Chains A and B, each alone.
Chain A
Amino acid sequence: DTEVTQTPKHLVMGMTNKKSLKCEQHMGHRAMYWYKQKAKKPPELMFVYSYEKLSINESVPSRFSPECPNSSLLNLHLHALQPEDSALYLCASSQSLEIYEQYFGPGTRLTVT
């Protein structure tokens, strides 16, 4: 199984809503990532977890809150988002932080109204 799954595929939320994005992998990978991608731009790193501990927070606003409940799951909790937060949110995993090959999930297309 070389798949990273993400739910939901699409999400529309208002600026006062609270929602969560979910990501799951069963490849035994110990590093997991959240990226944000705007149209025609490269993925932009948000958070990195290594062995279920937050390793990197790329100065992301606190309205985005990551969580890694176990080695297979990664969540991104959203609260009080802004319209400019509308983007494709990608989850990825790799065997470890030192391994270049990252496996990406299909992403969640988020629209903030």
Chain B
Amino acid sequence: GQSLEQPSEVTAVEGAIVQINCTYQTSGFYGLSWYQQHDGGAPTFLSYNALDGLEETGRFSSFLSRSDSYGYLLLQELQMKDSASYFCAVRDQFSSSASKIIFGSGTRLSIRP
């Protein structure tokens, strides 16, 4: 089966940098993605890594190491609006013709002024 582990809570200061880690165990691997969800809101897609290395999108970057079954989301120049839950996710092969996304338990990021 699949499992993903990420810290349940992280606190950081406005303007700082924070890293949210995710380790996974999968029977097959098709890439790691990250979603952001504000309280009362819907998850929104942030990034996807299929290959090793760093992907940068503005203030957010995502890293993947397939050999270590590990990835992280890096948020720079933190703003109060970044306070949200962040989920890592992997694809699980459900059958020969269908796959599904499995979400980690989520990391609640709180930003302090």
A interface residues (Cβ-Cβ under 8 A, vs B): 40-45, 48, 50, 55-56, 58, 90, 92, 97-98, 100-107
B97-110 interface code vs A (CB 8 A; 1 in, 0 out)? 11111111110100
Q: Which residue of B lies closest to A42 (CB)?
A: B103
Inter-chain CA distance A50–B94, complex, in Å, is 13
Chain A residues in 8 Å Cβ range of B97 = 55
* 20 cross-chain CB contacts under 8 A: A41-B105, A41-B106, A42-B87, A42-B104, A42-B105, A45-B100, A48-B98, A55-B94, A56-B94, A56-B95, A56-B100, A58-B100, A90-B42, A97-B99, A100-B33, A100-B91, A100-B101, A101-B33, A101-B45, A103-B45
Interface residues on chain B, number (Cβ under 8 Å): 24
Inter-chain CA distance A40–B33, complex, in Å, is 19
Q: How far is the CB of A94 from chain B (nearest CB, A)?
A: 9
Chain A residues in 8 Å Cβ range of B43 = 43, 90, 92, 102, 104
Determine which residue in B44, B99, B101, B108 has the highest number of CB atoms from chain A within 10 A of its CB, and name it: B101
Chain A residues in 8 Å Cβ range of B99 = 97-98
Chain A residues in 8 Å Cβ range of B106 = 40-42
Inter-chain CA distance A43–B35, complex, in Å, is 11
Task: Check if A104 sits within 8 Å of B44, measured CB to CB.
Answer: yes
Inter-chain CA distance A45–B94, complex, in Å, is 12
